[in-house]
Amino acid sequence: MKSLRARLLLLLSAAVTIAALVQAVAVFHNAMREADAVFDYHLQQLALSLASGDMGLPGFGPNVSPGNDVDYVVQVWAPDGKRIYVSRPRSDLPSQAVLGYTNVQVGGEQWRVYSMQAGGRTIQVGQSTATRRALALGFALRSIWPMAVIAPLLLLAVAWVGRRSLQPLSDLSRELENRAATSFDPLDPHPVVSEMQPVVRAMNGLFARTRAAFDTQRMFVADAAHELRSPLTALKVQVQMLARAHDDGQRSVALARLESGIDRASHLVEQLLQLARNESGAEEALAPVSLLDTARLALSDTAELAQTRGVDAGLEDAEDCTVLAPPGGLRILVRNLVDNALRYTPTGGRVDVRVRCEMRPGTDGAPQRMAILEVDDSGPGIPPEDRERVFDRFYRRENAPAGGSGLGLAIVRSVAERSSATITLDTAPLGGLRVQVRFAAQQGQH
What was the pLDDT predicted at 62? 40
Average pLDDT score over residue span 20-46:
83
CA distance 23 to 225: 74
**Residue/partner pairs of 82-88 with CB below 8 Å, 24 or more apart:** 84/57, 84/58, 84/121, 85/57, 85/58, 85/59, 85/60
What was the pLDDT predicted at 204? 80
Rounded to the nearest 5 degrees, what angle is found at the Cα of 205, between the Cα atoms of 199 and 208? 145
What was the pLDDT predicted at 351? 92
Average pLDDT score over residue span 11-32:
79
The residues near 242 (Cβ < 8 Å, ≥ 6 apart) are 251, 254, 255, 258
What was the pLDDT predicted at 92? 63
Residues 289 and 262 in one domain: no
Answer whether residue 100 shows pLDDT above 80. yes
Question: Structural domain of residue 206, as residue ranges?
Answer: 194-274
- Judge whether 257 lies within some domain: yes
Answer whether residue 61 shows pLDDT above 70. no
What was the pLDDT predicted at 80? 80
For 335-351, what is each residue's pLDDT tens digit? 888 888 888 889 989 99
**Residue/partner pairs of 64-72 with CB below 8 Å, 24 or more apart:** 66/125, 70/127, 71/127, 71/128, 71/131, 72/43, 72/46, 72/125, 72/126, 72/127
DSSP class of residue 81 equals: S
For 326-338, what is each residue's pLDDT tens digit? 888 888 888 888 8
What CATH number does residue 8 fall under? 3.30.450
Answer whether residue 313 shows pLDDT above 80. yes
Residues 22 and 137 in one domain: yes
- Judge whether 181 lies within some domain: no
* Among 51-55, 183-187, 250-254, 272-276, the range of highest mean pLDDT: 250-254
What was the pLDDT predicted at 63? 41
The mean pLDDT of the chain is 76
Average pLDDT score over residue span 17-46:
82
Residues 265 and 360 in one domain: no
Q: Which residue has the higher pLDDT, 229 or 72?
A: 72
Residues 204 and 125 in one domain: no
- Judge whether 33 lies within some domain: yes
Of the pLDDT bands very low, low, confident and very high (cuts 50, 70, 90), residue 446 is: very low
Tell which residue, 114, 116, 121, has the closest CA to residue 54: 121
Average pLDDT score over residue span 26-36:
81
φ, ψ of residue 54 in degrees (nearest 5)? -70, 115
φ, ψ of residue 193 in degrees (nearest 5)? -70, 160
For 123-175, what is each residue's pLDDT tens digit? 888 888 888 788 777 777 777 777 777 778 877 887 777 777 767 777 777 77
CA distance 219 to 207: 18
Residues 262 and 319 in one domain: no
Tell which residue, 169, 225, 352, has the closest CA to residue 177: 169
User: Cα 202 vs. chain centroid, distance in angstroms?
Assistant: 12
What was the pLDDT predicted at 328? 80
What was the pLDDT predicted at 36? 84
- Judge whether 208 lies within some domain: yes
User: pTM above 0.85?
Assistant: no
Average pLDDT score over residue span 68-72:
57
Residues 292 and 266 in one domain: no
Q: Which residue has the higher pLDDT, 409 or 309?
A: 309
The residues near 148 (Cβ < 8 Å, ≥ 6 apart) are none
- Judge whether 213 lies within some domain: yes
> How many structural domains does the chain have?
3
Of the pLDDT bands very low, low, confident and very high (cuts 50, 70, 90), residue 443 is: low
What CATH number does residue 236 fall under? 1.10.287
Residues 92 and 54 in one domain: yes
Average pLDDT score over residue span 35-56:
79
